[in-house]
């Protein structure tokens, strides 16, 4: 019975350590720089999530052909 408590304590400690490591890495990741306003162009692109049905219209992007955004962990479909 005592060995079970030790094993559970070690597993719990490893889980807490991994969560802490994840949080530190998340905080240490630098933000992406803001796009230059002179390089942003007007576009008209409509997307739809094939899983939940969310619709999104992109009106401004850095390229004339923006890549589809991700929603529900999948790339959205162009309309």
Can you give the residue ranges of every domain in the chain? 1-30, 35-79
Give CA separation, 2 vs 8, 16, 52, in Å.
Answer: 10, 21, 48
Q: What is the pLDDT of residue 26?
A: 92
pLDDT of residue 15: 98
The pLDDT, as a whole number, for residue 38 is: 85
Rounded CA-CA distance 26/7 in Å is: 29
DSSP designation for 79: -
Beta-carbon contacts of 64 under 8 Å, excluding residues fewer than 6 positions away, are 41, 43
Query: What is the full per-residue pLDDT of the chain (79 aa) written as tens digits?
Result: 799 999 999 999 999 999 999 999 999 989 888 888 888 889 999 999 999 999 999 999 888 888 899 999 899 999 8
Please tell me the pTM assigned to this model. Answer: 0.55
The single residue listed with the structure tokens 């219209």 is 57
The whole-angstrom separation of Cα 56 and Cα 54 is 7
pLDDT single digits (tens) 38-49: 888 899 999 999
């Amino acid at each position: 019975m005592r060995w079970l408590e030790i094993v559970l304590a070690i597993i719990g400690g490893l889980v807490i350590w991994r969560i802490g490591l994840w949080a530190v890495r998340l905080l240490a990741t630098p933000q992406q720089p803001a796009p230059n306003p002179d390089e942003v162009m007007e576009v008209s692109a409509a997307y739809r999530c094939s899983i939940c049905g969310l619709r999104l219209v992109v009106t401004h992007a850095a390229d004339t052909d923006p890549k589809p955004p991700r929603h529900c962990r999948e790339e959205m479909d162009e309309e």
